[in-house]
Protein backbone atom coordinates (compact mmCIF):
# COMPACT_ATOMS: atom_id res chain seq x y z
CA UNK A 1 0.00 0.00 0.00
CA UNK A 2 1.32 3.47 -0.83
CA UNK A 3 1.97 6.07 1.83
CA UNK A 4 -1.01 8.20 0.80
CA UNK A 5 -3.52 5.49 1.63
CA UNK A 6 -1.71 4.48 4.80
CA UNK A 7 -1.81 7.89 6.43
CA UNK A 8 -4.88 9.26 4.61
CA UNK A 9 -3.02 12.26 3.29
CA UNK A 10 -3.61 12.95 -0.37
CA UNK A 11 -1.04 15.57 -1.20
CA UNK A 12 2.46 16.43 -0.12
CA UNK A 13 4.17 19.75 -0.60
CA UNK A 14 7.13 18.14 -2.31
CA UNK A 15 8.72 14.80 -2.94
CA UNK A 16 11.17 15.74 -0.19
CA UNK A 17 8.41 16.25 2.35
CA UNK A 18 6.88 12.96 1.30
CA UNK A 19 10.22 11.17 1.67
CA UNK A 20 10.67 12.61 5.17
CA UNK A 21 7.23 11.51 6.27
CA UNK A 22 7.73 8.15 4.58
CA UNK A 23 10.97 7.65 6.51
CA UNK A 24 9.24 8.38 9.79
CA UNK A 25 6.32 6.13 9.02
CA UNK A 26 8.35 3.21 7.67
CA UNK A 27 10.90 3.28 10.47
CA UNK A 28 8.15 3.43 13.06
CA UNK A 29 6.61 0.30 11.53
CA UNK A 30 9.90 -1.55 11.59
CA UNK A 31 10.75 -0.53 15.14
CA UNK A 32 7.29 -1.44 16.40
CA UNK A 33 7.75 -4.92 15.07
CA UNK A 34 11.25 -5.23 16.53
CA UNK A 35 9.94 -4.05 19.87
CA UNK A 36 7.20 -6.69 19.90
CA UNK A 37 9.71 -9.39 18.99
CA UNK A 38 12.11 -8.32 21.76
CA UNK A 39 9.38 -8.11 24.36
CA UNK A 40 9.13 -11.91 24.26
CA UNK A 41 12.71 -11.96 25.54
CA UNK A 42 12.03 -9.35 28.21
CA UNK A 43 14.09 -6.66 26.47
CA UNK A 44 13.38 -3.20 25.13
CA UNK A 45 15.02 -1.90 21.96
CA UNK A 46 17.65 0.28 23.68
CA UNK A 47 18.46 -2.51 26.12
CA UNK A 48 19.00 -4.86 23.17
CA UNK A 49 21.18 -2.36 21.36
CA UNK A 50 23.44 -1.93 24.37
CA UNK A 51 23.72 -5.68 24.87
CA UNK A 52 24.78 -6.09 21.24
CA UNK A 53 27.48 -3.44 21.55
CA UNK A 54 28.77 -5.15 24.68
CA UNK A 55 28.85 -8.51 22.93
CA UNK A 56 30.85 -6.95 20.11
CA UNK A 57 33.52 -5.95 22.65
CA UNK A 58 33.41 -9.09 24.73
CA UNK A 59 35.45 -10.12 26.65
CA UNK A 60 36.69 -6.54 26.89
CA UNK A 61 34.68 -4.11 28.99
CA UNK A 62 33.16 -0.91 27.65
CA UNK A 63 32.65 2.36 29.50
CA UNK A 64 29.29 4.11 29.61
CA UNK A 65 30.80 6.85 27.51
CA UNK A 66 31.77 4.38 24.79
CA UNK A 67 28.21 3.10 24.79
CA UNK A 68 26.79 6.59 24.29
CA UNK A 69 29.18 7.11 21.37
CA UNK A 70 28.10 3.94 19.66
CA UNK A 71 24.37 3.90 20.32
CA UNK A 72 22.13 4.50 17.36
CA UNK A 73 20.27 7.14 19.26
CA UNK A 74 23.16 9.21 20.49
CA UNK A 75 21.58 11.15 23.26
CA UNK A 76 19.79 8.42 25.07
CA UNK A 77 20.54 7.87 28.65
CA UNK A 78 22.95 4.97 28.75
CA UNK A 79 23.62 4.87 32.46
CA UNK A 80 19.99 4.26 33.36
CA UNK A 81 19.63 1.54 30.73
CA UNK A 82 22.78 -0.16 31.95
CA UNK A 83 21.27 -0.15 35.42
CA UNK A 84 18.14 -1.91 34.11
CA UNK A 85 20.30 -4.55 32.45
CA UNK A 86 22.37 -4.98 35.61
CA UNK A 87 19.24 -5.54 37.66
CA UNK A 88 18.44 -8.43 35.29
CA UNK A 89 22.01 -9.78 35.64
CA UNK A 90 22.64 -9.36 31.93
CA UNK A 91 25.60 -7.02 32.45
CA UNK A 92 28.18 -6.29 35.15
CA UNK A 93 29.53 -2.94 36.26
CA UNK A 94 32.79 -2.29 38.03
CA UNK A 95 34.96 0.72 38.66
CA UNK A 96 37.47 1.34 35.91
CA UNK A 97 41.04 0.92 37.15
CA UNK A 98 42.66 3.55 34.97
CA UNK A 99 40.08 6.27 35.46
CA UNK A 100 38.12 6.30 38.65
CA UNK A 101 35.41 8.48 37.10
CA UNK A 102 34.58 5.79 34.56
CA UNK A 103 32.63 2.56 34.91
CA UNK A 104 33.53 -0.64 33.08
CA UNK A 105 30.46 -2.44 31.77
CA UNK A 106 30.60 -5.97 30.41
CA UNK A 107 28.08 -8.55 29.28
CA UNK A 108 27.54 -11.62 31.46
CA UNK A 109 27.17 -15.27 30.49
CA UNK A 110 23.46 -14.81 31.01
CA UNK A 111 23.44 -11.84 28.63
CA UNK A 112 25.36 -13.78 25.98
CA UNK A 113 22.94 -16.69 26.26
CA UNK A 114 19.96 -14.38 25.80
CA UNK A 115 21.48 -12.77 22.71
CA UNK A 116 22.21 -16.20 21.26
CA UNK A 117 18.51 -17.02 21.47
CA UNK A 118 17.57 -13.75 19.79
CA UNK A 119 20.05 -14.37 16.96
CA UNK A 120 17.76 -17.09 15.69
CA UNK A 121 15.01 -14.58 14.86
CA UNK A 122 17.25 -11.65 13.97
CA UNK A 123 16.34 -11.80 10.27
CA UNK A 124 12.77 -10.86 11.20
CA UNK A 125 13.97 -7.46 12.41
CA UNK A 126 14.49 -5.99 8.96
CA UNK A 127 13.01 -5.81 5.49
CA UNK A 128 13.55 -9.25 3.98
CA UNK A 129 14.10 -10.64 0.54
CA UNK A 130 10.34 -10.88 0.18
CA UNK A 131 10.05 -7.11 -0.10
CA UNK A 132 13.28 -5.72 -1.55
CA UNK A 133 15.87 -7.41 -3.73
CA UNK A 134 19.49 -7.22 -2.60
CA UNK A 135 20.18 -4.59 -5.23
CA UNK A 136 17.24 -2.51 -4.03
CA UNK A 137 18.36 -2.78 -0.42
CA UNK A 138 21.81 -1.66 -1.49
CA UNK A 139 20.31 1.28 -3.37
CA UNK A 140 18.26 2.20 -0.30
CA UNK A 141 21.46 2.30 1.75
CA UNK A 142 23.07 4.63 -0.76
CA UNK A 143 20.11 6.98 -0.85
CA UNK A 144 19.96 7.13 2.93
CA UNK A 145 23.67 7.90 3.20
CA UNK A 146 23.32 10.58 0.55
CA UNK A 147 20.23 12.08 2.13
CA UNK A 148 21.84 12.13 5.54
CA UNK A 149 24.76 14.12 4.15
CA UNK A 150 22.71 17.28 4.66
CA UNK A 151 23.09 16.73 8.41
CA UNK A 152 26.89 16.54 8.37
CA UNK A 153 28.35 18.36 11.35
CA UNK A 154 25.12 18.16 13.27
CA UNK A 155 24.39 16.02 16.34
Partner DNA sequence: TTGGTATAGATGTACCTACATATAATGTGA
Partner DNA sequence: TCACATTATATGTAGGTACATCTATACCAA
Mask 79-118, x = binds a copy of itself (CB under 8 A)? ----------------------------------------
In degrees, rounded to 5, the angle at the alpha carbon of residue 33 between the alpha carbons of residues 31 and 37 is 115
- Interaction partner, residue 128 (a copy of itself, DNA, none; CB < 5-8 Å by kind): a copy of itself
Residue 7 lies near a copy of itself (rule: CB under 8 A): yes
Residue 80 lies near DNA (rule: CB under 7 A): yes
Q: Furthest-apart CA pair in the chain: how many Å?
A: 60
Contact (Cβ atoms closer than 8 angstroms) between residue 103 and residue 64 = yes
Residue with Cβ nearer a copy of itself (97 or 134): 134
> Which of 51, 53, 82, 107: binder of DNA (CB under 7 A)?
82
Would you list the DSSP string of 51-93?
HHHHHHHTTS-EEHHHHHHHSSSTTS-HHHHHHHHHHTTSEEE
Instruction: Name, in order, each residue with C-beta under 8 angstroms of 121's C-beta and a sequence gap of 6 or more.
Output: 37
For binding to a copy of itself (CB under 8 A), which residues are involved?
A: 1-3, 7-9, 13-33, 56, 69-70, 72-75, 122-123, 125-132, 134, 136-141, 143-152, 154-155
Amino acid sequence: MGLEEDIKQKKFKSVYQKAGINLTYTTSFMMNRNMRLLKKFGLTLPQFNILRILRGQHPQATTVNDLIDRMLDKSSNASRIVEKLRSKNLVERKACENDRRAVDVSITKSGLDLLAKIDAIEHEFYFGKGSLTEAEAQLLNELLDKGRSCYENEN
